[in-house]
Amino acid sequence: MQLPLYQIDAFTDHIFGGNPACVMPLTEWLPDEVMLQIARENAVAETAFFMPQGDGFALRWFTPEIEMDLCGHATLATAHAIRTLHAYSSSSLQFYSRSGLLTVDFEEDRYTLTFPARKPLPAALPTAIQESLDRMPVAVLQARDYVLVYETEADVRNIQINRQLLDRINLDPGGVVITAPGEDCDFVSRYFTPQASIFEDPVTGSAHCSLIPYWSERLQQTTLLARQLSDRGGTLYCTHEGDTVKMAGYARTYFTGICQLPA
């Protein structure tokens, strides 16, 4: 069985930047184990599978280890694939997912995702996370992910995390996001997933479902510019709208091909 397969760099305007995601269009769902095997074979942070549903598309996301409840960069990558590789003519589309209805709007080559807000609340720092850090945060919060707040961008850039110690905790499907005020933007972040094959995620849209409400309230502004400080790097143009957040960015197609599956 042959199926199309695309790899797209999301939250970037150039190849080799942002977060790579694989995207596979389907006409019916494959068995979950097969989709997980495809994600493992692709060996990127997320593989998105989509197929038509009503007036939009059903969408699911798999890491090499698990099915995720929400993924921003793979949603952006899927929207880019539908628009540019499937000749989609509308200026917006709808995805039906485990996190409910998600919308993506297009303006020229920029994509704006509307996702649910997940305001993080004060939390205790688990011992496994605390002992893995070479510097302590000034605040600890949690929604799906643990959000560790630091004083400066330099703290986020330079932090050393002992993966062996952090891997003692299982946060599936969440992770640990560290964040601080930005030097040339409103806030910066990095994202780590214990026990995952890809330890540091290059750009994490779903984490911004919590980062945007936090920084919007702290900075008293509804529009924010965010940067994720991974090696590949990524930029998100953010808006807080009560129960929802908007995050906008760009995407570039790296390859299109055919996936050869067993019969």
**Strands of 11-152, DSSP E:** 19-25, 46-53, 56-62, 67-68, 92-97, 100-107, 110-116, 121-122, 139-142, 146-149
Annotated catalytic sites, by residue?
Answer: 46
Distance between CA atoms of 192 and 208, rounded to whole angstroms?
14
Nearest Cα neighbor of 157 from 138, 179, 141, 140 is 179
Using alpha carbons only, what angle is made at residue 132 by residues 179 and 142, rounded to the nearest 5 degrees?
45
Contact 12, 74 (CB under 8 A): no
Nearest Cα neighbor of 78 from 46, 54, 38 is 46
Q: Which amino acid is at 62?
A: F
Nearest Cα neighbor of 197 from 177, 179, 178, 172 is 172
Cα→Cα distances 148→3, 112, 179, 210, Å: 41, 26, 6, 11
DSSP track, 154-219: HHHHH--B-HHHHTTS--TT--EEEEEE-SSSSEEEEEE-TT-SSSEES--TTTHHHHHHHHHHHH
Would you mind telling me the total number of residues written for the chain in this entry?
263
